[in-house]
Structure 1
Amino acid sequence: MRFTKQKRHRKAVRFFTSCFGFREPFKILCDGTFVHHLIANGIAPADTALTNILGAPVKIFTTRCVVAELKSLGSSYSDSVDAARSLMVARCDHEKRKSAIACITEVIGEKNTEHFFVATQDAELRKKFQQIPGVPLVYALRNALFLERPSAFQQESAKAAEEERSRMTELELKMLKLKKKKVANDEARDSSETEEQILETLIPRTDVKMTRIDKTDKAQFKRKRAKGPNPLSCKKKKKQENASEKMRSQGRFQEGDGDNSARNRKRKRSRKNKTSTES
C-alpha cells in the first residue's frame, strides 16, 4: 500500500513538472487549517514530511493574512500561530486583512505563475483550485500527507497547452513565408543566369575580333608515310670486297698487275747459295 501511494505521488509530481514547469525546490503555500492539523497530529518537522511525499526539497510559505486569521481564533491556536510565523512569508500586498481563502486565491491567481503547491484542509478550497490549471493540492489525513491527483480539467488544459505549443505562431508563420519567398527568388535568379550562359555559348559574338593563331598554337598532325622493313628481321649486309682481292680469289691476278706487290715483298735467299758463291 505504501509503495502504490509513493508511485501515485511520483506520477502526479511528474505531471506538474513536465506540463506546467514546476522546478525544485518546490514551494508549498499553507493555510491556517493545514498548519493547525500538523501541530495537532504531531507531524514534525513539516518540511521533512513534505519532502518524503514529493521526492524533492521544499520551501514552506504562508501569508500575513493567514497568520492574522489564526491569531484571531484565540489562545487555543497559539502554537499554530508560532509555527506559521516561523514559515516564509509570501507577498500578498493586502493593506487590510482578508480571509485566508481570499488571500490565497489572489496569490495563486488564474495561472499560478509562482508555481505554488497549495496545502489546505478546506474541501471547498480544494474543489475551487481543481478548476485552475497547474495548482497541485496537498492535504493530510490524521498523521499522513497526500498529494491529490490532477483533476480532469487540469489534464485537459495540459493537453490543450501542448497542442498550442506545437502550432506555429503568427510571427513564425510570417518568417516562414518570407524565407520561402527568398528561396523562390534565388532559384529564379539562378535559372535566369544559367539561361544567359547557355545563350552566350550558342550565339557567336560579333564584337570580338578574330586574332591570328600562331603555328605553335595549331594542332600539329603527323602524316603517315611508308615505313621500311623491320631491321631486326633482316640479314646483315656483307662488306664489299676490293677488286684485287676478288680477282685473287678467282685466280685472275696477272703478272703485270702484281709488280707492285712483288716489289713490296722481300726476297728470301737460302744459305747454301751464299756459301757456294764465296768459294
Structure 2
Amino acid sequence: MRGKRSKQYRKLMQQYGLSFGFREPYQVLLDADMIRDADRFKMDLVGGLERTLHGQVKPMITQCSMRHLYAAAKEPGVSFLIDKAKTYERRRCDHRPEDYPEPLSTKDCLVSVVDPKGSKTNKHRYVVASQELEVRKFMRGILGVPLVYINRSVMIMEPMAGATAENREKEERGKFRAGLKRGSGSLKRKREDDEEKEDAETKEDMPRKKKKTVKGPKGPNPLAVKKSKKKPEEATAASIKVEFKKELRTEAPNAAQPAGSERSVKRKRKRKLKSSDSGEAGPVKAEAAGEDD
C-alpha cells in the first residue's frame, strides 16, 4: 500500500472514530464475492483489512452469505473457502431456511443487518466489505458506513459519502457553537484582558516624545566675560575689616597680662662679626661688655 493512500485511510478512520464512535476491533461484514475474489487474487483477506483500516478487525459473515457459498460448493476451491469462512464470526440475519427457501440477495441481507429499522444510521458500527456495486451504492445513503472492496488485487476504502460528510460537518458546527455559547462570557473577558495587555505593551514599546526646548538668545561665555570691578565703598569696607582683624590679633596676647604691667620688650641680639685677626675682635668684645654694664 502506498504511503499517501495509507495516510488517507488512517485519517478517514480517525474521522469515523471521532464522529461515529468506531473503535478497534472493527466489525467487518463480508459477503461471498469478497471472500472468493480475495482467494482469486491470492490475498490475505484479514491482513489486508487490517492494513487498510489501520487496526485490528473482527471478520463477520451472515447466514445468507454462507448459503451462497454452499450453493457454489461444486466449483473448484470453494470447499476450502467454506472451511475458511466458518472460522469467521457468524452474524445472524434471522433469514432462516424454513422461512426463506432461497437465500436473500447480498444487498437485502446486509441492509437488514446494518440498518434493521430503516433509520439510515449504522447503529452497531459495521464496516461493509462487498464486491457488489449495488450494495455499496445503497450503503452510501446510510450514515457512517465505511466501504471496502478489491480492485485488481488492491484493497480500496471509499472516501466518506456525501450524506455522512454533511452530517459530520453539521455536528462539528453544532459543537463549535455550543462551545462558544458556554464560554462566551469568559471569552469576552479574556479578550478585554488581552486587549488591555496589548495596549499597555504598545504604550511601553512606543518611544517617549522628547520635550521641545524653546530656542532663544544664548548668554555670554562666563569664561570670556571680564570680572566686574569693586565699587570704592565696597573696597573701603573690606580694608576696614582687614585692619580690624589685625588689631584684634595684636591685642589678644596683651589682654592676658595685668593692667599695670609694662610690656616686656625683647632686646635685639646683635650679630657678632667674624674676623680673622684677634686684634680687631678685641674692641668689639669690649663694646659689647660696656653695653651689658
Q: Secondary structure at the match of 1:139?
A: strand
Q: Which residue, 114, 123, 144 being the options, matches 2:124?
A: 114
Structure 1 gaps, min length 5: 169-279
1:53-103 deviation line (CA, Å, top 9, x unaligned): 211111100111110012113411333322222211112122234222211
Residue 86 (structure 2) aligns with: 85
Residue 30 (structure 1) aligns with: 30
Q: In 1, distance between residues paired with 2:36 and 2:87? A: 13
Q: Secondary structure at the match of 1:23?
A: coil
Q: Which moved more, 1:8-17 or 1:73-82?
A: 73-82
Superposition pairs for residues 93-242 of structure 1, below 5 Å? 93-95=94-96, 96=100, 97-109=103-115, 110-163=120-173
Q: In 2, distance between residues paired with 1:111 and 1:166? A: 23
The code of the aligned residue for 2:38 comes to: L
1:121-148 deviation line (CA, Å, top 9, x unaligned): 1112111111111000011123221111
Residue 66 (structure 1) aligns with: 65
Q: In 2, distance between residues paired with 1:66 and 1:106? A: 13
Percent same amino acid at aligned positions?
A: 29
Q: Which moved more, 1:27-36 or 1:90-99?
A: 90-99
Q: In 1, distance between residues paired with 2:145 and 2:37? A: 21
What displacement does 1:23 show?
0.6
Q: In 1, distance between residues paired with 2:51 and 2:59? A: 14
Structure 2 gaps, min length 5: 179-293
Q: Secondary structure at the match of 1:94?
A: coil
Residue 177 (structure 1) aligns with: none
- Change in Cα spacing, 1:22 to 1:71, as seen in structure 2 (3 Å) is same
Q: Secondary structure at the match of 2:92?
A: coil
8 Å CA contact 1:39–1:79 kept in 2: the answer is no
Residue 8 (structure 2) aligns with: 8
Q: In 1, distance between residues paired with 2:35 and 2:171? A: 34
Report how many residues are paired: 167
Q: In 2, distance between residues paired with 1:166 and 1:72? A: 53
8 Å CA contact 1:69–1:100 kept in 2: the answer is no
Residue 56 (structure 1) aligns with: 55
8 Å CA contact 1:34–1:120 kept in 2: the answer is yes
1:242-273 deviation line (CA, Å, top 9, x unaligned): xxxxxxxxxxxxxxxxxxxxxxxxxxxxxxxx
Q: In 2, distance between residues paired with 1:20 and 1:33? A: 27
Deviating 4+ runs (over 4 angstroms): 163-168
1:210-268 deviation line (CA, Å, top 9, x unaligned): xxxxxxxxxxxxxxxxxxxxxxxxxxxxxxxxxxxxxxxxxxxxxxxxxxxxxxxxxxx
Q: Secondary structure at the match of 1:47?
A: helix
Computed over aligned residues only, the root mean square deviation of the Cα atoms, in angstroms, reads 1.9
- Change in Cα spacing, 1:108 to 1:164, as seen in structure 2 (3 Å) is farther
With the length of structure 1 as denominator, give the TM-score of the two structures.
0.56
8 Å CA contact 1:133–1:158 kept in 2: the answer is no
Q: In 2, distance between residues paired with 1:89 and 1:74? A: 19
